[in-house]
Structure 1
Amino acid sequence: MARVLVTGANGFVGSHLVEHLLSLGHEVTCLVRRTSNLQWIEALPVRFAYGEARLPESLPPVVKGQEYIFHNAGVTRAWNARGYIETNALGTRNMLRACAAAGDSIRKFVLVSSQAAAGPCRDGRVVTEDDTPRPVSHYGRSKLLAEKFAHRFENRLPVTIVRPSAVYGPRDRDGLDLFKNARRHLATIVGFRRASLLSTHVRDIVEGIALAGLAEESAGRTYFISYDKPHSWEEITDAIGEVVGKTAIRLRVHGDTVKLLGRWITALAATARALGLRPERSGPPLLTVARSIELAQRCWLCSCERAKKELAFSPKIGLREGIRLTAEWYRREGWI
């Protein structure tokens, strides 16, 4: 049994990671804010530590005595580049500094990055960990900057970087609209040419993260964690339609139109917030500028072969099974 700290533990991926680490028999501490919604983890046998990666003074007592740090905290939606960098990049640097100062107790710092840090495919070729990263959005660039900070600490800490692909599953709010739209007989497809992407169930994602983090030989390595068979948006939306029992009409939207919508929606939401028409604490809209740029790309394929060979990672949940499990959970919770 190891002492493990998970940041971002109350979120979608983080809460599943906490559950998985507990199932492996580890002693888990969750770094959360005083204002965090703990609905997914409050009943679990974990210890709560209060602090925030953006507040460096709160971190030393939190990391003290921990053996494995799974730094999963971050934002996938922000108003601008600064918002992504402050949390995803500078927050990571704060965590690294605190861990480096904590002494030899820390056996591994695991940075949960993103496929977005590497960027989309080039000429349809699957991206590997050896390829030069080419992120296309502020989100992806902030995650890549976090990776660069992690590399700078490799002479002081054992560091492993994981890049999960697009992830879905129970508790995922970002993918919920796909299911709601399917119930309205609507499937929105970005682009007029077939796009390829890897969509991975959260259970496979957290298993891969844990394998990478807990393996001693993974220090200094970067791993893509993903399903190993690509799908198109047509296949994904058709599978969702089957599960919810609706035949959806495909609405195709040009990638440039999606990017324009992302800019408009973000600008309108920011203006409404500034005028007091939107709550001050409300977050950015689902379709941010960064998200719209990523959706407009035709190919998001990466190779998980390194994780398979070095970590014995084996994604198990196929698309239709994963969508069925997700829809069942949404129904139980009254989300659809």
Structure 2
Amino acid sequence: MNILITGASGFIGSFIVEEALRRGFDTWAAVRKSSSRAYLQDPRIHFIELDFNSKDKLVEQLRGHDFDYVVHAAGVTKCLHPNDFFRVNYEGTRNLVEAILELHMPVRRFIYMSSLSIFGAIREQQPYHSITEHDTPRPNTAYGRSKLMAEKFLDSVGNEFNYIVLRPTGVYGPREKDYYLMAKSIKQHVDFAVGFKRQDITFVYVKDVVQAVFLALDHGMSGRKYFLSDGEVYQSSTFSNELRQAMGRPWWIRIKAPIAVLRLVTWCGEYYGRLTGHITALNNDKYNILRQRNWRCDIEPACDELGFHPQYQLHRGVKLTVKWYQENNWL
């Protein structure tokens, strides 16, 4: 079987490539000319350069290829300008699907990597309840809105296109760079916490996301959308506590600040990014993500229909992640 994996040089994409090779797929990694191939060293990988900005270019680049499966993991989570989210996450997805359809490529299933963020701050009244597939999305970030637009486009394509959408919550693991900043701060003896209202958070280890991807290739109904988490709910301080534990419990100072301070910090980060042209992790989108209080989600449909069973609870996943950071000189 041939499989095309977009975003192959990225955090999640590179793990999908590794698993595809392990399972014996004829594996094609879609990359840009500027993409790092640091995690794509296996000589069995076939590379293909794709330009998601143009459907016509994609048609030419894909012509002559017949992929059995496509996993569309390409996308952006941070941008200098909000329009870039829609250009990459929505228009890039639309261009790819339209190119596949124009070529009459016999794709058995198309997997789209979306996000829990498409729902925004809903079910925020305590006691918090899990977000379900029946809730109405109200994305409060440009990232979430762009992912939701891509989902709606897939819904409009029609029955001739076999697709499944995966909606992971916060994904962490080796090679991930945003949660790494928290680990780096703890190593420097400082931990930051924001807000005083209870916050329920969910996580999913990258290899559990990969498990769901390969289950979705042949399980579940076309058009279905599945939440992914490790099945547990954590408090806002749990992740940093686990990081500190895995790092040998260095001394630290935990600074807890009100939401207003976060608003100021992320505004400054947004301004600095636009001034310098450097994308920062602390921006307007990040403000809305960090102030959201309820990240519970219902993974029962994924368990029942895909056979998804998370293997990495937070304690185990964080321990493996910190070990990788240390072995690769990130910490």
1:244-281, CA deviations, whole angstroms, 9 ceiling, x for partnerless residues?
121432211222321332122111221133xxxxxxxx
Q: Of 239, 242, 260, which aligns to 1:236?
A: 239
Taking the aligned partners of 2:203 and 2:52, their CA distance within structure 1 comes to: 28
Q: Counterpart of 1:189 in 2: which secondary structure?
A: strand
Deviation for aligned residue 1:134 = 1.3
Taking the aligned partners of 1:187 and 1:315, their CA distance within structure 2 comes to: 28
Q: Kindly indicate whether the alpha-carbon contact (under 8 Å) linking 1:121 and 1:301 is maintained by their aligned counterparts in 2.
A: no
- How many residue pairs match? The answer is 325
Q: Name the residue aligned to 1:300.
A: 295
Name which of structure 1's ranges 42-51 and 199-208 shifts more when overlaid on structure 2.
Answer: 42-51
1:166-209, CA deviations, whole angstroms, 9 ceiling, x for partnerless residues?
01000011111111111122211121123111111101111112
Q: Name the residue aligned to 1:278.
A: none
Q: Of 143, 146, 151, which aligns to 2:147?
A: 143
Q: Name the residue aligned to 2:32.
A: 33
Taking the aligned partners of 1:252 and 1:42, their CA distance within structure 2 comes to: 42
Q: Kindly indicate whether the alpha-carbon contact (under 8 Å) linking 2:66 and 2:105 is maintained by their aligned counterparts in 1.
A: no
Q: Counterpart of 1:31 in 2: which secondary structure?
A: strand
Q: Does 1:310 align with 2:305?
A: yes
Deviation for aligned residue 1:216 = 4.8
Taking the aligned partners of 1:107 and 1:304, their CA distance within structure 2 comes to: 24
Q: Name the residue aligned to 1:277.
A: none
Q: Counterpart of 1:259 in 2: which secondary structure?
A: helix
Q: Counterpart of 1:95 in 2: which secondary structure?
A: helix
Q: Name the residue aligned to 2:44.
A: 45
Q: Kindly indicate whether the alpha-carbon contact (under 8 Å) linking 1:165 and 1:226 is maintained by their aligned counterparts in 2.
A: yes
Taking the aligned partners of 1:272 and 1:249, their CA distance within structure 2 comes to: 31
Q: Does 1:116 align with 2:117?
A: yes
Q: Name the residue aligned to 1:188.
A: 192
Taking the aligned partners of 1:180 and 1:218, their CA distance within structure 2 comes to: 42
Q: Name the residue aligned to 2:222.
A: 219
Q: Name the residue aligned to 2:325.
A: 330
Letter in 1 for 2:221: S
Taking the aligned partners of 2:270 and 2:223, their CA distance within structure 1 comes to: 38
Q: Counterpart of 2:138 in 1: which secondary structure?
A: coil
Deviation for aligned residue 1:79 = 1.5
Q: Name the residue aligned to 1:80.
A: 81
Q: Structure 1 regions of 5+ residues with no counterpart?
A: 274-281
Q: Counterpart of 1:127 in 2: which secondary structure?
A: coil
Letter in 2 for 1:70: V
1:6-47, CA deviations, whole angstroms, 9 ceiling, x for partnerless residues?
100000010011111222221111111111111101335210
Taking the aligned partners of 1:111 and 1:102, their CA distance within structure 2 comes to: 19
TM-score, scaled relative to structure 2: 0.94
Name which of structure 1's ranges 115-124 and 89-98 shifts more when overlaid on structure 2.
Answer: 115-124
Taking the aligned partners of 1:38 and 1:262, their CA distance within structure 2 comes to: 31
Name which of structure 1's ranges 201-210 and 8-17 shifts more when overlaid on structure 2.
Answer: 201-210
Name which of structure 1's ranges 56-65 and 122-131 shifts more when overlaid on structure 2.
Answer: 56-65
Letter in 1 for 2:317: G
Q: Kindly indicate whether the alpha-carbon contact (under 8 Å) linking 1:238 and 1:248 is maintained by their aligned counterparts in 2.
A: no
Name which of structure 1's ranges 17-26 and 222-231 shifts more when overlaid on structure 2.
Answer: 17-26
Q: Counterpart of 1:211 in 2: which secondary structure?
A: helix
Taking the aligned partners of 2:264 and 2:90, their CA distance within structure 1 comes to: 27
Letter in 1 for 2:240: T
Q: Name the residue aligned to 2:67.
A: 66
1:86-113, CA deviations, whole angstroms, 9 ceiling, x for partnerless residues?
0001111101101111215111111111
Q: Structure 2 regions of 5+ residues with no counterpart?
A: none
Q: Name the residue aligned to 2:14.
A: 15
Q: Kindly indicate whether the alpha-carbon contact (under 8 Å) linking 1:161 and 1:223 is maintained by their aligned counterparts in 2.
A: yes
Q: Does 1:262 align with 2:266?
A: yes
Taking the aligned partners of 1:15 and 1:301, their CA distance within structure 2 comes to: 27
Taking the aligned partners of 2:158 and 2:82, their CA distance within structure 1 comes to: 26
Superposition CA RMSD, Å: 1.5
Name which of structure 1's ranges 258-267 and 193-202 shifts more when overlaid on structure 2.
Answer: 258-267
